[in-house]
């Protein structure tokens, strides 16, 4: 009977026996044992069926090196990819800041600065009522109540002056003097030079379209649009908004910044008016000598290049209301 100790020793030597690494004497002993011991014989048959692990040769070494190099290349690609993503994000943030920050600054300036009272204090006057008229020149038909006093008429080039004395007068003149009103594109250079904070012209132009106004007239001459802006609250300048809302904000803030001087501090206010023939805008100013001045520029709806002005000095608000109410542009 074969002892367990011998079987255990033979089993330990079987891997070397299979790989033909045993000495001749050991091989002969194992041969004889396998013939006599069925259990070790079964162990031997099972070991022979297992795959043989060969020593790593030079080709395998090169393969390992290649895998290492591949990982190094992947690491470089990962670094390049990360840096590229960072740069793209940085550029996008720069573009975002360039487009949004000017609007945010204008919004702050409008809410807290000189513009804060513009829309709240804007005066709306009637005009174009043809029911009364007792004075006429080439620009307007006017009604001047006798209670306002007597006046002397003086005429200069494209100007009529009705002098009541003591600084009280009515001045009627041709503001645009027949000059063709430029288009928005023709006014582009002035647009860029006039802004305190940069707003992209193309977006402002699109905003004018989105508001429903024509781009065939430059912003300072677009009285209808400016009057709407003067009588409405400033649009929101949100970080995230629709493209349409963004372009409208561009149009609003660039228009107000280019064309509208800050008035609304108690001593000065804007005036707007509209009738069937004309759109008018202007301002009221109370001087340090408490002299009231009212000025309205009337723009013909049929010919936008036709802009006539009426300036009143020394009249009360009620008198100014009456004069403008019955002012009919020719």
**DSSP 3-state of 262:** coil
pLDDT in tens, 214-261: 898 999 899 999 999 988 888 887 778 899 999 999 999 888 888 876
List alpha helices for the chain, DSSP H: 4-18, 24-36, 38-49, 58-112, 118-121, 188-194, 201-211, 223-230, 243-259, 317-325
The DSSP letter of residue 184 is: T
Q: Of the ranges 23-37, 120-134, 281-295, which one carries the lowest mean pLDDT score?
A: 23-37
Q: Of 284, 280, 270, give the one whose Cα is nearest residue 122.
A: 270
Q: What is the mean pLDDT of residues 137-146?
A: 96
Say which residues have a Cβ less than 8 Å from residue 244's Cβ, sequence separation at least 6: 210
250-294, pLDDT tens digit by residue?
999 888 888 876 665 567 889 999 999 999 999 999 887 788 999
State the Cα torsion 248-254-255-257 to the nearest 10°: 140
Per-residue confidence at 126, pLDDT binned at 50, 70, 90?
very high
More confident residue, 214 or 21: 214
- Total-model pTM: 0.69
């Amino acid at each position: 009977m074969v002892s367990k100790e011998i079987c255990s020793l033979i089993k330990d030597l079987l891997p070397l026996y299979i790989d033909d690494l045993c000495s001749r004497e050991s091989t002969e002993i194992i041969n004889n044992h396998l013939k006599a011991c069925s259990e070790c014989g079964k162990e031997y048959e099972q070991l022979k069926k297992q795959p043989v692990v060969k020593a790593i040769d030079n080709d395998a070494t090169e393969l390992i090196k290649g895998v290492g190099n591949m990982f190094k290349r992947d690491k470089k690609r990962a670094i390049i990819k990360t840096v590229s993503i960072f740069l793209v994000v940085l550029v996008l943030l720069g573009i975002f800041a360039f487009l949004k920050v000017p609007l945010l600054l204008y919004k702050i300036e409008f809410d807290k600065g000189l513009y804060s009272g513009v829309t709240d204090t804007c005066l709306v006057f009637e005009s174009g009522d043809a029911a009364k008229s007792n004075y006429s020149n080439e620009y307007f038909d006017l009604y001047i109540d006798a209670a306002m006093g007597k006046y002397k008429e003086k005429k200069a080039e494209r100007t009529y002056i009705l002098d009541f004395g003591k600084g009280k007068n009515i001045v009627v003149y041709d503001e645009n003097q027949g000059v063709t009103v430029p288009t928005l594109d023709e006014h582009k250079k002035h647009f860029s030079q006039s802004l305190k904070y940069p707003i992209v012209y193309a977006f402002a132009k699109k905003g004018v379209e989105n508001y429903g106004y024509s781009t065939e007239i430059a912003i300072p001459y677009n009285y209808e649009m400016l009057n709407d802006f003067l009588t409405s609250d400033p649009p929101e300048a949100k970080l995230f908004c629709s493209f349409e809302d963004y372009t409208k904000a561009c149009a609003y803030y660039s228009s107000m910044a280019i064309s509208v001087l800050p008035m609304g501090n108690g001593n000065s206010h804007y005036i707007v008016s509209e009738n069937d023939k004309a759109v008018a805008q202007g301002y009221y100013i109370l001087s340090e000598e408490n002299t009231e001045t009212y000025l309205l520029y009337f723009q013909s709806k049929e010919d936008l290049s036709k802009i006539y002005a009426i300036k009143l000095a020394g009249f009360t608000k009620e008198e100014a209301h009456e004069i403008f109410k019955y002012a009919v542009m020719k």
